[in-house]
Amino acid sequence: MTYSNPLQTSSARDARFWDRVAPGYAKRPVADPAAYARKLEITQSHLRPEMEMLEFGCGTGTTALTHAAHVRHVLAFDVSAQMIAIAEDKAQAQGVENVTFVQNRIEDFEPPEGRYDAVLAMSILHLLKDPRAAVNKSFEMLTPGGTFHSSTVCLKTGMWWFWPIARLGKALGLLPHVLFLGPHDLERMVREAGFEIETSWQPGKKIAIFIVARKPG
């Protein structure tokens, strides 16, 4: 008898969801352009031309492509093949050649320790089964002094009413896995991984918290 891995089964289901919504997601405008621009500015203040950067959960690649001009190379991956296909089309259209897009997920990624100077996790931690493991892995794959950048929707404090909808949507296959995290949950997770938080910014209670944390060294 063959038994399926529940994590892999759930991940495949989530990948199908993101494949299905990818075209519409790519066309959707940024909800808060000013906040997004500020996050880009803060991140780019930490980047240097010789750096290697990684982004997991990259979606259609907008953020990775925006930062590409500020580093030597970006490796960006997402669980959705359709998201990656759109990201590759964007890179070709923009003439960006120092970003490598691949289909993968942080749970399966096996990087060399101390490989990257910056790791990005934008709008992804609340969609993972084990965000703590992803943060810990980010710490391990960073060089000493490297930075971790994350933007995470705080559903626990801003959208608690969405919890029954999320559970029903997941059960029906209409929504992906979603965690209800708060800003203090995320800050604690980052600190317990060994990081020193340099920036923790949340424009409002119903808006994502943006964290920049440094690996000591």
Task: Look up the domain containing 96 and give its range.
Answer: 6-214
Q: What pLDDT was estimated at residue 175?
A: 54
Give the integer Cα–Cα distance in Å for 57 and 44: 19
Q: What pLDDT was estimated at residue 13?
A: 79
Give the integer Cα–Cα distance in Å for 3 and 217: 44
Q: Is position 23 within any domain?
A: yes
Spans of the chain, pLDDT less than 70: 1-10, 156-177, 205-206
Q: What pLDDT was estimated at residue 203?
A: 84
Which residues, including other chains, have CB under 8 Å from residue 150's CB and lie 6 or more apart?
A: 120, 121, 122, 124, 125, 135, 186, 190, 210, 211
Q: Are strands 73-78 and 196-201 parallel, antiparallel or unpaired?
A: unpaired
Q: Is 118 left (phi over 0), alpha (psi -120 to 50) or beta?
A: beta
> What is the length of the chain?
217
Q: Is position 158 within any domain?
A: yes
Q: Degrees (nearest 5) of the Cα angle 133, 179, 27? A: 105
Q: Is position 208 within any domain?
A: yes
Instruction: Report the CATH number at residue 16.
Output: 3.40.50.150
Q: Is position 1 within any domain?
A: no
Q: What pLDDT was estimated at residue 173?
A: 53
Q: What pLDDT was estimated at residue 153?
A: 87
Please name which of 96, 94, 61 lies closest in space to residue 76, comparing C-alpha atoms.
61
Chain center to CA of 170: 20
Beta bridge partners of 199: 212
Are 14 and 176 contacting, i.e. CB atoms less than 8 angstroms apart? yes
Q: What pLDDT was estimated at residue 204?
A: 74
Give the integer Cα–Cα distance in Å for 56 and 104: 8
Counted domains in the chain = 1
Give the integer Cα–Cα distance in Å for 188 and 209: 13
Residue with tokens 């060399």: 112
